[in-house]
């Protein structure tokens, strides 16, 4: 789950909570297992540990926060680690669902180093005769290649033949290169855009005279439609595997 600050915080926070509630209830009804990994800032975090009783973590959703940069590679890597453990047990068939706009800007090196970056920078500064220039080049190396890192983890996911589903739940904005479709190609997965699907469904339903599709009430209803679409996506992908 992408929990970075690429949307207005309150709007995205409420959207994430609604999506996770829908997923948790769907998993509970179908007696699956669920782990939820969130990524934001410089690293990923476990929101819900791998469990057969995800509904017992519903109250944990109240403590979720959003904001910061997008360490997508770190989130993918953590998700892969969780799924690999279940692969060895052969009790469940793993499925990786990535909920993100696909715009990543934090590399694995930066995620792994985190608080040590300043220490490394100071060491380079005092131990190198070229001074600031070398420090700048080294720091650039540390934070580079977030896209390459995410796609490399995607290749690792493909090696384990993990069924992958990518869902964009954010409104389309020109804020950088999205790698969602590249990840789909690499992993052999499927891609869905909830906004586009929700728009299409709402227009099909309300293609009648006198309905204000720009009203707040209609916007709320369209969001409900998107949540319904997400549940259908989960059911469809479950049937496929």
49 pLDDT higher than 90: yes
* Per-residue tokens: 175: 């804020």
pLDDT, residue 174, reads 56
The chain-wide mean pLDDT, for the chain, equals 79
Per-residue DSSP letter, 47: E
Model confidence at 123: pLDDT above 50: no
Q: Specify burial of residue 74 (Cβ count, 10 A radius: 0-12, 13-18, 19+).
A: buried
Instruction: Please enumerate in sequence order all residues whose Cβ is within 8 A of that of 51, keeping only pairs 6 or more positions apart, or say none.
Output: 33, 34, 35, 57
For the chain, give the percent of residues with pLDDT over 70.
Answer: 71
What pLDDT, on a 0 to 100 scale, did the predictor assign at position 109? 86
Give the C-alpha separation, 180 to 178, whole Å: 6
pLDDT: which is higher, 212 or 170: 170
For residue 185, what pLDDT is reported? 96
Q: Which residue has the higher pLDDT, 193 or 197?
A: 193
Model confidence, pTM: 0.79
CA distance 60 to 49: 11
User: Does the pLDDT value for residue 159 go beyond 90?
Assistant: yes
């Amino acid at each position: 789950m992408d929990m970075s600050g690429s949307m207005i915080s309150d709007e995205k926070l409420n959207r994430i909570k609604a999506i996770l509630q829908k997923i948790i209830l769907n998993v509970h009804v179908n007696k699956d297992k669920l782990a939820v990994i969130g990524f934001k800032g410089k690293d990923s975090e476990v929101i819900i540990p791998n469990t057969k009783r995800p509904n017992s973590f519903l109250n944990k959703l109240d403590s979720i926060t959003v904001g910061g940069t997008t360490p997508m590679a770190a989130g993918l890597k953590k998700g892969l680690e969780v799924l690999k453990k279940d692969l060895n047990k052969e009790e469940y068939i793993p499925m990786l669902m990535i909920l993100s706009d696909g715009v990543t800007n934090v590399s694995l090196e930066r995620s792994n180093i985190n608080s040590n970056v300043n220490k490394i920078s100071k060491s380079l500064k005092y131990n190198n005769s070229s001074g600031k220039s070398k420090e700048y080049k080294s720091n650039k190396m540390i934070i580079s290649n977030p896209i390459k890192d995410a796609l490399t983890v995607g290749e690792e996911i493909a090696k384990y033949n993990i069924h992958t589903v990518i869902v964009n739940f954010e409104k389309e904005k020109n804020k950088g290169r999205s790698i969602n479709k590249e990840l789909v190609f690499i992993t052999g997965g499927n891609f869905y855009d909830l906004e586009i699907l929700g728009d299409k469904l709402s227009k099909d339903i309300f293609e009648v005279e006198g309905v204000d599709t720009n009203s707040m009430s209609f916007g709320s209803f369209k969001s409900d439609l998107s949540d319904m679409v997400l549940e259908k996506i989960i059911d469809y992908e479950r049937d496929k595997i």
